[in-house]
Structure formats: C-alpha cells, structure tokens
Amino acid sequence: MTNTIQFKRTTLLDKRPVASGLALGEPAVVLHQSSFGIFLKDSNGDVRKIGPTHVGANAPNTYFVGSSGVSIGEGWVDTANSNALKIWDGTGWLTVSSAGGSSFDPYIVDFGLDIGSVDYGLVTDGTIASSESWGNSLSYLTN
C-alpha cells in the first residue's frame, strides 16, 4: 500500500498562505494555473514564495485572498509593459530587464562574496550600483 503526502494547498487565484497557518519550514502550494507557487515560512516568521516567477499584466498578489504582499526577491514578468522582468526589493518593483529600449539592459548579479549576507549589484550601462562598497577589486562580465 502506498501513502500519499499532500501539503497545504489551494486552487484559488491569488490565495497565499498566512504566516499563522504555517509551521517553520512547512510548505504550502497554490495550484491555480495563473498564479502557481510554492511558499514556506522562514525563520523570521514571514511567508516566502520560492517559485515560479509570476507572468501577467498585474503584479503578483494584487488582488489577494490570503496574505497580502509579496516576498523579497519574488519575480514578475510584466506582460503589460513589454514583458519587463521585475524583482520585488522589499519596497517596490525593480525592473531588471525589458524588451527594446537600450542595447544594454540592466540586470542583477549575485556576487556571493559573503556567506549569509545579501550581496548583490545592479549592472546597468557598464557600471555597478550596489548596497555595499566594493572597492577596486570587483570585476564583472558583460555580454
């Protein structure tokens, strides 16, 4: 006899789990085809979406049913804005790539310099803007 293991789940569009409904590390799944996602409760007590990137004309969780808001690092392909790739930085949607426009689209690079820290840079037209002081030793590749 086989056993079936199922996570907390819903098929409702934009219904995200609330933190009080999950144990630390417990997965929950949204199964709606337009807003599929897997969520976990982190050590800070926040619910984080771990994938996949949302694709649509409206930002993910715009018309929420469960918990409001989006996770830091959550992605969105904005189909109403030339399929621009956007990342939530905790306060707003940062456009990291867009169709057309410049010949050098901006993108985020995780340099992985410190274990357990967020160390990233935003590469735009050949320069680096970041949340840390990089000094003179940082190099990067462009295409």
The pLDDT tens digits of the residues spanning 23-61 come to 998 999 999 887 788 999 989 998 888 888 888 899 988
Q: What is the pTM of this model?
A: 0.60
Note the pLDDT of residue 103.
43
Residue 98: pLDDT band (50, 70, 90) is: low
Count of residues making up the chain:
143
pLDDT exceeds cutoff 70 at 94: yes
pLDDT, mean of residues 110-131:
45
Note the pLDDT of residue 20.
93
Is the Cβ–Cβ distance between 135 and 125 less than 8 Å? no
Q: Residue 119 burial by CB count (10 A; 0-12/13-18/19+): exposed, middle or buried?
A: middle
